[in-house]
Structure 1
């Protein structure tokens, strides 16, 4: 008889393959190379859509991780396709790093160096190297790491400045998107630099990288996580001043598992215990955003009392992992139930059972959010495929 955990594992294993087959079937751009820049909910190609560095890096990570999971060479073929496209079209051979976007034909479009995007390139290249031992991939990841440390790292105040021109000069507009704030330092960039450096350290245990990963973890503890509310602060100036007040429940629960993952690699018992306490507090705080139906809300602004109760796909995916990690750390059944309920919510409202993949999200009234990508600059296979892999790994460990 299956336990709830073993049933959970088997269901997400099947969903992992559903996701991978969707991207294999619908997103390969046979005419212009790489993968399409955007598809709508009907899986219609959005002609002329630019191709984002984040999308292509996340595709590379996904198929590299999938190949590492089961050894299926179909996934390796797709990972190599993504790797070659990044090398040929996104790599800035003059100034280093990766472009933010290229046009549909693969020509440079937005050439700025957004550290968030550079982090995802490091993350993906490290994963590709991890399973293929392609030395050129590791070399490029290390090269980008060194550029980020040279230009973005703040040695006096610690942390990373968000964005630069193609030539790595400071720019006034640092925002990730038209929804993001224009800030010198952001939680989101730091979270994904943490993720990238963790993955790079797995395959390249360099002493300098170890130090920077330690600093990053301490930045979260000292600056980013509010010691009173246990939510993360999203935006700062270069001096960690003028913090924003908006709460992002999805980022809170994502950090709740990425931080202990990073700390575990450093094998520092004092830091590990400190991070465990912080991550448990993050998970408890994130649970404030849960609805009775199991979905995790998007954001809350305490200054105005406004709640964004939309349920985005990535937030639900991170809830699966973050609450399961909290259960693994604490044994508290409430956290396990939060993870299971997140998966139930996804099955009922987020999975597109007709056209495949996951919807961008649903509104507070549980209607599919209109006019959003199924595939796009931000809509990638990484949050959901990773959630499946992480759940499988955690259930195996728990058993």
Structure 2
């Protein structure tokens, strides 16, 4: 048997360089006043897009990881993100940094091009990434990050975490007075990632237990009962809504049907969760492998074209056939983690297959960051995404195979792994 790629010095050097190129591309997103901008296909800030909290948080997380890797200049970029997400230490009257709501607390979804609040709803999706960014920056020892993390924990515990249900609410109006009549798997999945990062940063085991509660409901109960077809959308009473957004099938955050990439992302997160628990349940690995297998069987090249389709209907037929960069990135990361956990050759084979595709079709050597979307024939497309605003998935796909399995990438890097 050939040695796994992740054990080969040349491949490891290639991965590290690949991650570095993406972070270098992303450094152009530094916004002069508020966080990180949306980048176009050439890596230039796109002012008309405004500034988004989830992008600012993901960039802050990436640059905190880059600092932990010893990359000069990354620490100040992480600090820029922390400042953009923080309330000035002088108090609310010291000024508003923009993304943080200094009147009602929490974080806006975005700022418009003129710097005014754009999306003023308080969403679990954005708040999960505030937790992740603050955790990574705090682990990296960046100034103000621990205070930001404490603030984010307070908001999430007060408004999103439901201890009785063991999962998170979706969103509120700006004043936290009216919750949205909707619950989502996507935001809860990212809360699992965020909770694991918080637990690693604080040493508090309650966060891994909370992550386990979320995973138990969505994967071990809901997905397992449906042969691993995970509904993404729910009523306020947690009843699945299988027809949700049937008229907006290519929605970037709430698409209709089964989202293949999330099945792969869940598979990886279950293995990370296993490492965070002193006595993890055996179903975590079983369900991770089942989710991975179902995603590959139903979503990989099922329409005659190369790559993963974006979504499927409830009879496993492709709905949105565009190939998203984040899906192949999560496939690579899941294969790497499952191979490291099990040693099974099939995961290594898929890891090689998907890196070959990502390098050939998605990676843009001239620009650095991946093309975000391809059509079913492998040509650049913009049906769902425009520009290249996000390196988080592809960056982690390059970094995760370099390290042992841990609950948090930042915690592993801080230990010198």
TM range (shorter): 0.7 to 0.9
Task: Quote the Cα distance in structure 1 between the aligned partners of 2:316 and 2:212.
Answer: 35
Partner of 2:184: 186
C-alpha distance in structure 1 between counterparts of 2:160 and 2:31, whole Å? 34
3-state SS, counterpart of residue 190 of structure 2: helix
Candidates 279, 290, 298, aligned match of 2:288: 279
Which shifted more, 254-263 or 217-226? Answer: 217-226
Alignment of 1:122-271 (within 5 A): 122-132=131-141, 134=143, 136-172=144-180, 184-206=182-204, 208-244=206-242, 246-269=257-280, 271=281
In structure 2, the partner of 1:325 is 337
Give the Cα separation in 2 of the matches to 1:66 and 1:138. 18
The DSSP-based 3-state class of the residue aligned with 2:224 is: coil
| Distance in 1, Cα, partners of 2:163 & 2:200 | 24
The yes-or-no answer on 1:9 pairing with 2:12 is yes
2:75 corresponds to: 76
User: Which residue of structure 2 aligns with residue 382 of structure 1?
Assistant: 392
Structure 2 residue runs without a partner (length 5+):
87-96, 244-256, 407-411, 413-417
Equivalence for 2:121: 112
126 and 8 in structure 1: CA distance in 2 versus 1, 3 angstrom threshold: same
CA offsets per residue over residues 142-174 of structure 1, 9 Å max, x none? 3322322222233443321101011112344xx
Q: Quick check: 2:26–2:43 contact (8 Å CA) kept in 1?
A: no
Distance change (3 Å), C-alpha of 1:255 and 1:285 = same
* TM-score normalised over the length of structure 1: 0.86
- Give, in angstroms, the shift of residue 81 of structure 1: 1.3
User: How many residues end up aligned between the 2 structures?
Assistant: 378
> How many Å apart are 1:128 and its aligned residue?
0.1
| Contact map agreement 1:185 1:235 (CA 8 A) in 2 | yes
Contact map agreement 1:157 1:239 (CA 8 A) in 2: no
In structure 2, do the counterparts of structure 1 residues 211 and 294 end up closer, same or farther at CA, with 3 Å as the change threshold? same
The structure-2 alpha-carbon separation of the partners of 1:329 and 1:228, relative to structure 1 and needing over 3 Å to count, comes to farther
Match 1:341 to one of 353, 360, 374 = 353
Shift of 1:337: 1.2
TM-score (norm 2): 0.83
The change in CA–CA distance for 1:3 and 1:230 in structure 2 (over 3 A counts) is closer
Residue 90 of structure 1: how far off its partner (Å)? 1.4
Check the 8 A contact 1:224/1:234 in 2, yes or no.
no
Task: Tell me, yes or no, if the aligned pair for 2:333 and 2:401 is still in contact at 8 Å.
Answer: yes
Q: Deviations over 1:230-260 (max 9, x none)?
A: 2322111233213427221111111111122
Residue 196 of structure 1 and its aligned partner are, at CA, apart by 0.6
Gaps of 5+ in 1: 173-182
Q: Give the drift of 1:203.
A: 1.3
Higher share in helix: 1
Cα 1:223–1:153 shift into 2, 3 Å: farther
**What are the Cα deviations for residues 205-253 of structure 1, in whole angstroms up to 9, with x where unaligned?**
2354354233223223444423341232211123321342722111111
Whole-Å separation in 1 of the counterparts to 2:215 and 2:405: 26
C-alpha distance in 2 between matches for 1:293 and 1:325:
26
Q: 2:48 maps to what in 1?
A: 48
Q: 1:358, 1:374 within 8 Å by CA — same for their partners in 2?
A: no
Q: Quote the Cα distance in structure 2 between the aligned partners of 1:193 and 1:285.
A: 23
Shift, 1:93, TM fit: 2.0
Tell me by how many angstroms 1:294 deviates. 6.1
- In 2, Cα distance between the equivalents of 1:141 and 1:124? 8
Distance 1:304 1:11, change over 3 A: closer
d(CA) in 2 for partners of 1:4, 1:164: 46
CA distance change for structure 1 residues 2 and 18 in 2, over 3 Å: closer, same or farther? farther
Q: CA deviation at 1:101?
A: 0.7
Instruction: State the alpha-carbon separation in 1 of the partners of residues 204 and 4 from structure 2.
Output: 42
> Which whole-Å CA distance do the structure 1 matches of 2:404 and 2:333 have between them?
9
CA contact (8 A) 1:187 1:224 kept: no
Alpha-carbon offset, residue 303 of structure 1: 4.5
